[in-house]
Structure 1
Amino acid sequence: MITAVVVDDHPAVTAGVQAWCGLADPPIKVLATGRNVSVAWLEPGRSADVVVFDLQLDVSGPAYGDLKRLVDAGRQVVIYSMRADRETVLTCLDIGGFTYLTKAEGEDHLVAAIQAAAAHTPYTPPVLSGAFGTDNRPHRPQLSPRESEVLLEWFHSESKEMVARRLNLTVRRVNACLERVRIKYANVGRDAPTKAALVARAIQDGLVRADEL
């Protein structure tokens, strides 16, 4: 069973998320809820597969620091926020959040995002897709044709071994290409430590469209 912890300071929101998760197919078990991020660090929330995280926990501004600490610890974080501006959305993805939803996007998208995060498969809801489509920031790494080919093939494959077979490469060569891509993104301040993060970067940079995945 997929498990989640919900970090949100609005009781009605946490109650709604719990109800939606309980009705999911298969059900998602919410291990804990809380008004601040400590609930994700303490048991039972510490053991959850996915953190559903309200970015705006108080009036001081977006909780980017809390998000980064969760990401640095290897947590799969679904940001669930009232904020819908492009800069906030893209900043959360640059930090390493798994995906970003607004609270207006509702039950179907949130449940699907939690399921995707637990399975480490990409998920792009409408607001995130719109932010990607209008991202015109200049700091994009220059990938070689081979690096781009390997990266895009990996998005459509279940394993690196499958990529190697399809492109007539060794697995070692595939790993080397993907590592170079990660390094190039890190060098421009846009770390992509996971497959989902690389998908996000590729969509941002126009290498692939969300509807092609």
Structure 2
Amino acid sequence: MDEEPSGPAGGEPCPPVPGAVSAVLIDDHPVVRAGIRGWCAAAAEPIRVLAEGADVAVALAGPGREADVVVLDLYLTGETPAYTEVNRLVAQDRKVIVYTMRDSQEAALTCLDLGAFTYLTKSEGERHLVAAIHAAAAGRPYTPPGLAGAFGSDRSPGRPTLTPREIEVLLEWFQCESKAMVAESLGLSVSTVNTYLDRVRIRYANAGRPANTKANLVARAVQDGLISLDEL
């Protein structure tokens, strides 16, 4: 029998807490969801779990559609990775953290190419998952150790050729809190900064590796050797 999507512990959704980060959990193992739910509740900055279940539908309807972050197991049905589900969620501008048992460079890079926020293995545990949820909700890049290894060994084709100025603007943006600060630092207008960043996004999109968010651009830059993790 299919498991019905539900709020935490099969009950009502968590009550609203002003300013609190919220998440929806998608995993076909109830014990895994229970563990994540416990980590979220015990975090220094608690995370509200609005809904959970074994199917992506739990994130698309009811309280789950309001969650800031989607935590998604990549293998919900046997050996078939849930790339279609990742793509479906990303298409709706959801921030997706892929959380899986599989330590796979190919799977990690595929998920990022589809637009996932980050990719964590379950062996990386509580600290990294909680930190990734908070980072995703805030729009900050987050690269766990396993993903850093995948970046470092990636030799896939399709890397766009960026101009020196585009790279300069891109890297400056990674170090700044706003585009206005980039503009001031480089002696440009904010409009010009936006133009350079739009060009970079277009180049990645044309190469078949879209980067629609700042976190995705950071991932691409690390993946392509434009910046190291130590510089972030």
Aligned to 2:160: 141
Aligned to 2:193: 174
Unaligned runs of 5+ residues in structure 2 are 1-19
Aligned to 1:27: 46
Could you report, residue by residue, the CA deviation over 1:6-44 in whole angstroms, capped at 9, with x for unpaired residues?
Answer: 000001100000000001121000011101111001110
- How is 1:81-120 mapped onto 2 (pairs within 5 angstroms)? 81-120=100-139
Shift of 1:211: 2.1
**Of the candidates 170, 176, 188, which is equivalent to residue 151 of structure 1?**
170
**Of the candidates 185, 200, 203, which is equivalent to residue 219 of structure 2?**
200
Shift of 1:78: 0.5
Aligned to 1:160: 179
User: How many corresponding residue pairs?
Assistant: 213
Could you report, residue by residue, the CA deviation over 1:127-170 in whole angstroms, capped at 9, with x for unpaired residues?
Answer: 10000000011210000000000000000111100000000001
Aligned to 1:187: 206
Aligned to 1:80: 99
Secondary structure of residue in 2 paired with 1:70: helix
Secondary structure of residue in 2 paired with 1:44: helix
Secondary structure of residue in 1 paired with 2:62: coil
Which has the higher Rg, Structure 1 or Structure 2? 2
TM-score (structure 1 length as normaliser): 0.99
Q: Which amino acid aligns with 1:210?
A: L
Aligned to 2:75: 56
Shift of 1:97: 0.2
Q: Which amino acid aligns with 1:168?
A: G
Structure 1 moving runs of 4+ over 3 Å? none
Q: Which amino acid aligns with 2:110?
A: T
Shift of 1:60: 4.7
TM-score (structure 2 length as normaliser): 0.91
Q: Which amino acid aligns with 1:107?
A: E
Aligned to 1:70: 89
Aligned to 2:15: none
Unaligned runs of 5+ residues in structure 1 are none
Aligned to 1:209: 228
Secondary structure of residue in 2 paired with 1:192: coil
Aligned to 2:60: 41
Mapped to 1, the partners of 2:54 and 2:158 lie a distance apart of 36
